[in-house]
Homo-oligomer: A and B are copies of this chain.
Amino acid sequence: MKDDGLVKEVPSKSGSFPDWYTAVVLKGELADYAPVRGCMVIRPYGYTLWECMQGLLDARLKATGHVNAYFPTLIPESLLNREAEHVEGFSPQVAWVTHGGAKELSERLALRPTSEAIINTMYARWVKSYRDLPVLVNQWCNIFRWEKATRLFLRTLEFLWQEGHTLHRSEEEAEEEALRILDIYVDFVENDLCVPVLAGLKPESEKFPGAVRTYTIEAMMPDGQALQSGTSHNLGQGFAEAFDIRYLDEDNTEKRPWGTSWGVTTRLIGALVMTHGDDRGLFLPPRVAPFQVAVVPVLFGKQDEAVLAKCREAVTALAGLRVKLDADTNQTAGWKYNQYEMLGVPVRVEIGPKDVQKEGAVLVPRDGSGKRFIRFADLAQEVNGLMDGVQRGMLAAARERVRAMTSEAGSFDEFRARLDAVPGFIRVAWCGSAQCEGQIIEETKTTPRVMVPAEQDRGDAPCIACGRPTGKRIYYARTY
């Protein structure tokens, strides 16, 4: 027998968190390491999860007037160089194609690290009149960034994402779009994935290269590290200038449109795993779980046909849900219980000879709230009720955890003490200067994550680094 290369046991989540994470991703069959350093394979179970996630986000984007398109992966170096900040931000991470067939190319081609350059090049051709605006285009595709340290789903050389790229007639409209998308991301990530986030503006130093303003959603993982989970950029007119996009306005003058871009990635799968998993494996929210229900027959050799018939009846009764009936006779019911817990299936239905006799079934929610015997006639209603209850419970539990990991510090000393005691989001007054930021990063390995909205400010307070009074508040955290 070959060694299967898989992790045999899951280490404790409260022990070595990184090892636990990797084990759950591998043993939960979400992903595997590829033969190229830093690349991953998204296995069928993981990809089905991504399809479920895509479906829910794509519907929100379409409902707000966005359409999908597909732009080339290969971007000529000269195009990438058009926007100065942009190329400076991405060039250290770009993979380059230099040969096609046996021939060396006259200009090397970047594998898209993001698509502003190629998309705005096309927009310059397509947009001519104010009637062509707004342009509301999204793309689902693969992206390449040559990262040094990689982790499954969290940071890989290739990943999947969606990237929206829009153009508008006014600055206000572009700002509205950037915020509309931020709201959609919050709604999707919190209500479908049950991952609570802080949403708001990035500080200057963490802006997207080429953006005027970057909005972000930041999740807090159980190990005290923040995970940037999605960004929405107001690009101003920078890309429209760099790529010479102009339109004839109603007043018969030529103007430049205002742009946005925004994206979330397969990294969200990492957020799901870390937020909800436990020592038994994955735990997936019902709205996105590839299988929402696992039906497991308890077979003893006698009455097996009656048990299997009842299980099939259960599948029929649960039409509309994603149900896996596991009638494999090579594995015991006990093995299957463990397996579907490892895979994070939200609800298990067990049916054995006694249940058939009593016209019932046993329901076991993955949230640990305990098994219950129900009348078979109530199956659909009970399971659908559990779907809602489990979904709500997962968000509530995550919110409670993040609340306990979010605090405030009035001084640098207090900040360091909080970080030692309960690492997480720490709210501080910060003047915003590069010098203070550098000092905080160097001394604490935290970075500024997201500004506190101005309306939540409570007057001036001393910057925790330099002591100068400032009205600004921001969340600092260690980060992935």
Interface size in chain A (residues, C-beta < 8 A): 64
A68 to chain B: closest residue by CB? B47
Residues from chain B with a CB closer than 8 A to the CB of A157 are: 74, 100
A32 at the interface (CB under 8 A from B): yes
Q: Is the CB of B47 within 8 A of A128?
A: no
A1 in complex: contacting residue of B32, B93, B98, B128, CB < 8 Å: B128
Q: Given A2-B246, A32-B122, A330-B131, are A47 and B69 neighbors across the interface (CB < 8 Å)?
A: yes
Q: Is the CB of A101 within 8 A of B146?
A: yes
Counted per complex, copies of this chain come to 2
How far, in angstroms, from A137 to B72 measured CA to CA in the complex? 25
A92 to chain B: closest residue by CB? B101
A125 at the interface (CB under 8 A from B): yes
How far, in angstroms, from A39 to B121 measured CA to CA in the complex? 14
8 Å CB interface, A130-163 against B? 131, 137, 141-142, 144, 146, 157-158, 160
Residues from chain B with a CB closer than 8 A to the CB of A121 are: 35
Q: Is the CB of A69 within 8 A of B93?
A: no
A245 to chain B: closest residue by CB? B2
A131 to chain B: closest residue by CB? B330
Q: Is the CB of B68 within 8 A of A35?
A: no
A4 in complex: contacting residue of B75, B76, B118, B128, CB < 8 Å: B128
A95 at the interface (CB under 8 A from B): yes
Q: Is the interface of A mostly helix, strand, loop or mixed?
A: mixed
Please, what's the 1-or-0 string for A1-41, where 1 marks a CB less than 8 Å from any CB in chain B?
A: 11011000000000000000000000000001011100111
Q: Is the CB of A101 within 8 A of B109?
A: no
Residues from chain B with a CB closer than 8 A to the CB of A43 are: 69
Residues from chain B with a CB closer than 8 A to the CB of A126 are: 4, 32
Please, what's the 1-or-0 string for A40-74, where 1 marks a CB less than 8 Å from any CB in chain B?
A: 11111011101100000000000000011111111
How far, in angstroms, from A74 to B330 measured CA to CA in the complex? 37
A96 at the interface (CB under 8 A from B): yes
How far, in angstroms, from A284 to B148 measured CA to CA in the complex? 47
How far, in angstroms, from A183 to B166 measured CA to CA in the complex? 41
A103 to chain B: closest residue by CB? B146
Please, what's the 1-or-0 string for A94-135, where 1 marks a CB less than 8 Å from any CB in chain B?
A: 111111111000001101000000100110011010010000
A79 at the interface (CB under 8 A from B): yes
Please, what's the 1-or-0 string for A224-257, where 1 marks a CB less than 8 Å from any CB in chain B?
A: 0000000000000000000000101000000000
How far, in angstroms, from A17 to B68 measured CA to CA in the complex? 29
How far, in angstroms, from A206 to B102 measured CA to CA in the complex? 23
Q: Is the CB of B99 within 8 A of A99?
A: no
Task: Kindly name the residue among A35, A48, A94, A157 whose own CB sees the greatest number of chain B CB atoms within 10 A.
Answer: A35
- New A-B contacts (13) at CB < 8 Å, excluding given A51-B68, A96-B97: A4-B125, A34-B71, A34-B118, A35-B79, A41-B70, A73-B111, A73-B142, A74-B95, A92-B102, A93-B101, A94-B101, A97-B111, A98-B98
Could you give 11 example pairs across A and B, Cβ below 8 Å? A4-B125, A32-B125, A32-B126, A40-B72, A43-B69, A72-B158, A73-B142, A95-B97, A96-B97, A97-B97, A131-B328
